[in-house]
Chain A
């Protein structure tokens, strides 16, 4: 009897999540400000390193951004010694989001190459890093708390 009620609870929870997911997806066309979104993540997730907003050409140097990316905000490890990072890239058309995602995944691979020998203890963060595409915005968060990062990203679309 108890097992049966647990099953019903799981079904109800899954339904709720599905509805929430649909609702979230429907709101992906919200106009997101990369600066505000990246700041919300940088401040909302607990990072052990100090994250610094990369200004000028610094972000471009790390990500090799091109004209497809119309707006962005990148926070980099202030020490240079950890892989902790936040990036929010925005493209004009959601159809180009795949290209922005590729830019982010390339950066992720380079970070893995950089840290696999230098600081192997950072690899767990990189393996569980968040790469999320929401409409015309791509998110990258490398931290100890990916669940919290996703929670904050979700909250931007509510």
Chain B
């Protein structure tokens, strides 16, 4: 075959390669490959969806041995041992890359009291609430049957231990002294911290730990709940210069640790009230970005009614 013949032959081959039949066959092959890839992606996507908790889901279920603790739980009923979900899945095959999704509400903190059957207002008939200005709204709005509440605007976790701020017929008393008039209680709810965002964390936690100790001494048989600091709106800093959701989130993590170390229960109310960005919605606090409307008191207490424990912490 001469060089000229070879060139002609190649030209014929090239024409053949791009003939109609060949083009159709090639297109079909490409389509089949694309279909196979799409199917694989769909399967992976479906698997990934099943591993993402549903929006607003409660804290993880009963504790497992996944973290390697082993043995039976010494935690009271309803209490969930803190273990990060990613730790529980350690050793599993690496998850496929999660596709970009719409922002969703953050999940409750692992270790917080999980969702339970709803109780009614009578649950609070032998409860007492301690707190700051946020808690002063409980009796004012007659929330949940108006449980006994001793609260003082501006109080913080340090001052609550010693400051005589509650007016009584016998004179000014500390919060716990003033609470003596209400007698024995089975349940104690504490919400503090909104006035302490300027503090260093150790002072904050130290004061809070002291208060928990004082509450335990006064109510030795009570179930004690500490409630998360509530989130604020994005513009709350205009009224309260220290109001910052990042700081609140950091303090709440310390409160969760404090609850575990002191054997009390942590209620992640912040998670129930925040929006998908982690902030309090503007409608919840049109006045100042921190203090709630009556509707949000109802949301707060809806959360309390569906997150309860019946046993006293050991």
Residues from chain A with a CB closer than 8 A to the CB of B167 are 61-62, 64, 110
Cα separation A81 to B194 with both chains bound (whole Å)? 12
- Interface pair A78/B153, CB less than 8 Å apart: no
B152 CB–A CB distance under 8 Å: yes
Interface size on A, residues (CB 8 A): 24
Contacting residues of chain A (18-71) with chain B, CB-CB under 8 angstroms: 48-50, 52, 54-58, 61-62, 64
Which of A58, A78, A81, A114 is in CB contact (< 8 Å) with B139?
A58
- Interface pair A79/B137, CB less than 8 Å apart: yes
- Interface pair A56/B139, CB less than 8 Å apart: yes
Interface of B is mostly: loop
A106 — nearest CB in chain B belongs to which residue?
B167
Residues from chain B with a CB closer than 8 A to the CB of A64 are 167-169
Which of B152, B165, B287 is in CB contact (< 8 Å) with A79?
B287
Residues from chain B with a CB closer than 8 A to the CB of A76 are 140
Residues from chain A with a CB closer than 8 A to the CB of B294 are 78
Give the distance to chain A from B242, nearest Cβ to Cβ, in Å: 12
Cα separation A90 to B79 with both chains bound (whole Å)? 52
Query: Count of A-B contacts with CB under 8 A?
Result: 59
Contacting residues of chain B (4-36) with chain A, CB-CB under 8 angstroms: none
Contact A81:B140 (CB < 8 A) given known A118-B153, A118-B195: no
Binding site for B on A (CB under 8 A): 48-50, 52, 54-58, 61-62, 64, 76, 78-82, 110, 114-115, 117-119
List 4 additional contacts besides A64-B168, A80-B291; criterion CB under 8 Å: A48-B287, A79-B288, A114-B154, A118-B154
20 contacts between A and B (CB under 8 A): A50-B287, A52-B140, A54-B140, A55-B142, A56-B146, A57-B139, A58-B140, A64-B168, A76-B140, A78-B140, A79-B133, A79-B137, A79-B291, A80-B134, A80-B151, A80-B153, A81-B287, A110-B167, A115-B154, A118-B195
